[in-house]
């Protein structure tokens, strides 16, 4: 496992709490959260998430999942959703998967690094060792980030730099 933490380079912000019924922080991801082509039971279902304790000034949320251990110079974005209404404090399992009707109205699903505006399950190269999948809920100080439909997770991250009030994090692990 590597020690690179992309969030350590960002301006520090307060933390709040995110939990998941799909996996525990630091635990191996369940087959449901794994890419269908990697595990025989892989289902590409985004994890269930619930969050609390965010700042009162929060106006919206963004949710991301990033693999900093991918064999690229830029990691791999598996999931990015912006403009979740401030009254949304949980997502059911599968909310970000494909054309799921479970993603709340008004939320903007960005294309992951595989090119799909959906959750892409963990899929580390065979024999590459354990990968960390950082699931982060960002408390945002504006209701909408005004990103275009073609915005990338990197563009989201740039905008979050200026608008994040606090972050909640979970990390899942997976290896083939």
Give the strand order in the sheet containing 90-91: 17-19, 49-52, 90-91
- Residue 1 falls inside a structural domain: no
Q: How many domains does the chain have?
A: 1
- Residue 51 falls inside a structural domain: yes
- The mean per-residue pLDDT over the stretch 154-170 comes to 97
pLDDT score recorded for residue 71: 92
Q: Rounded to two decimals, what is the model's pTM?
A: 0.95
- Residue 24 falls inside a structural domain: yes
pLDDT score recorded for residue 37: 86
- Residue 83 falls inside a structural domain: yes
Residue-wise pLDDT tens digits, 56-112:
999 999 999 999 999 999 999 999 999 999 999 999 999 998 766 789 999 999 999
Q: What is the CATH number of the domain that holds 138?
A: 3.90.280.10
pLDDT score recorded for residue 99: 66
Query: What does the mean pLDDT of the chain come to?
Result: 94
Q: Does 1 score more than 60 pLDDT? A: no
Following CA atoms 54, 117, 75, 11 in sequence, which dihedral angle do they give, to the nearest 10 degrees? Answer: -30
Residue-wise pLDDT tens digits, 122-153:
999 898 999 999 999 999 999 999 999 899 99
pLDDT score recorded for residue 97: 83
Distance CA 30, CA 22 (A): 7
Range of the domain at 47: 6-174
pLDDT score recorded for residue 101: 75
């Amino acid at each position: 496992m590597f020690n690179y933490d992309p969030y350590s380079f960002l301006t520090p912000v307060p933390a709040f709490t995110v939990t998941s019924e799909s996996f525990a922080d630091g635990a191996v991801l369940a087959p449901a959260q794994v890419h269908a082509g990697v595990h025989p039971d892989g289902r590409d279902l985004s994890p269930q998430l619930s969050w609390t304790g965010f700042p009162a000034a929060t106006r919206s949320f963004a949710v991301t999942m990033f693999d900093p251990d991918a064999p690229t110079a830029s990691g791999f974005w598996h999931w990015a959703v912006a403009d979740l209404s401030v009254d949304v404090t949980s997502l059911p399992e599968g909310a970000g998967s494909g054309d799921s009707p479970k993603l709340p109205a008004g939320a903007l699903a960005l294309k992951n690094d595989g090119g799909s505006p959906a959750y892409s399950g963990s899929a580390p190269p065979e024999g590459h060792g354990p990968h960390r999948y950082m699931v982060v809920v960002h408390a945002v100080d504006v209701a909408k980030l005004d990103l275009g439909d073609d915005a990338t997770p990197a563009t989201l991250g740039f905008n979050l730099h200026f608008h994040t009030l606090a972050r909640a994090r979970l990390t899942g692990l997976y290896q083939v």
